[in-house]
Chain A
Amino acid sequence: AQSVTQLDSQVPVFEEAPVELRCNYSSSVSVYLFWYVQYPNQGLQLLLKYLSGSTLVKGINGFEAEFNKSQTSFHLRKPSVHISDTAEYFCAVISPGGGNKLTFGTGTQLKVEL
């Protein structure tokens, strides 16, 4: 079965500093990859997705992620974070032939401090 690992449960960072949130997935076959963000007391919102093509994917709010097939990784990055980026971030995967089922990682809480 497909699995997604987010190694960091919490990432504290100062405002305007860069950040990287790590995500690794288990499958050795082609997958579709997603990053979702959850602001306090809200549902999940799509940040970006990788379906095919360029391995560098740009999303909303200045975030980007790079698909690395050899390392089965899809790390999320932002060059300069803002207080408003404080939220929980989830990496998720859909396997081809798996319907539309999203398998989520356990989430990374990003806390941006002044």
Chain B
Amino acid sequence: EAQVTQNPRYLITVTGKKLTVTCSQNMNHEYMSWYRQDPGLGLRQIYYSMNVEVTDKGDVPEGYKVSRKEKRNFPLILESPSPNQTSLYFCASSLLAGGPYEQYFGPGTRLTVT
């Protein structure tokens, strides 16, 4: 089954404790992206990647890091989480060349930073 998976689905942590949210897709998509969803703000792009080793900032990159060492994986790293990063996070992927194409979304990771 074609899908985007994220782990963990729920995470409660404390300020300053480094964490990683994993994202994996099995559709051989070039494009992957991270979004955060906050009430009244919709979804905002954090980082995106157009292929292996190619990443760039989205609209709200502060406090986040990403890497793309393999085509299927695109982890989101919070080196020193703060309470304002409490949010619902989505990973998405799509084909890229000749697009635009539908983006497929993961089920989301609800992060709480205390």
Binding site for B on A (CB under 8 A): 4, 6, 9, 32, 34, 36, 41-46, 49, 51, 90, 92, 94, 99-102, 104-107
Contact = CB atoms under 8 A, between A and B. Distances in A.
Given A104-B43, A105-B42, A106-B42, A44 B31 contact: no
Q: Which 4 A-B pairs have the closest CB atoms?
A: A43-B105, A104-B42, A106-B42, A44-B105
B77 interface: no
B42 A94 contact: no
Given A100-B31, A105-B42, A106-B40, A44 B100 contact: no
20 contacts: A6-B42, A34-B102, A36-B105, A41-B108, A43-B106, A43-B108, A44-B43, A44-B90, A44-B105, A90-B43, A99-B48, A99-B50, A100-B31, A100-B33, A100-B100, A100-B103, A104-B35, A104-B44, A106-B41, A107-B42
Contacts of B43: 44, 90, 92, 102, 104
A104 B105 CA distance: 14
A102 B45 contact: yes
Nearest to B45: A101
Interface of B: 4, 31, 33, 35, 40-45, 48, 50, 58, 90, 92, 94, 96, 99-103, 105-108
A68 B49 CA distance: 32
B13 to A, nearest CB: 20
Interface-central residue, A4, A46, A99, by most chain B CB under 10 Å: A99
Contact of B40 (A9, A36, A45, A49): A9
Contacts of B35: 104
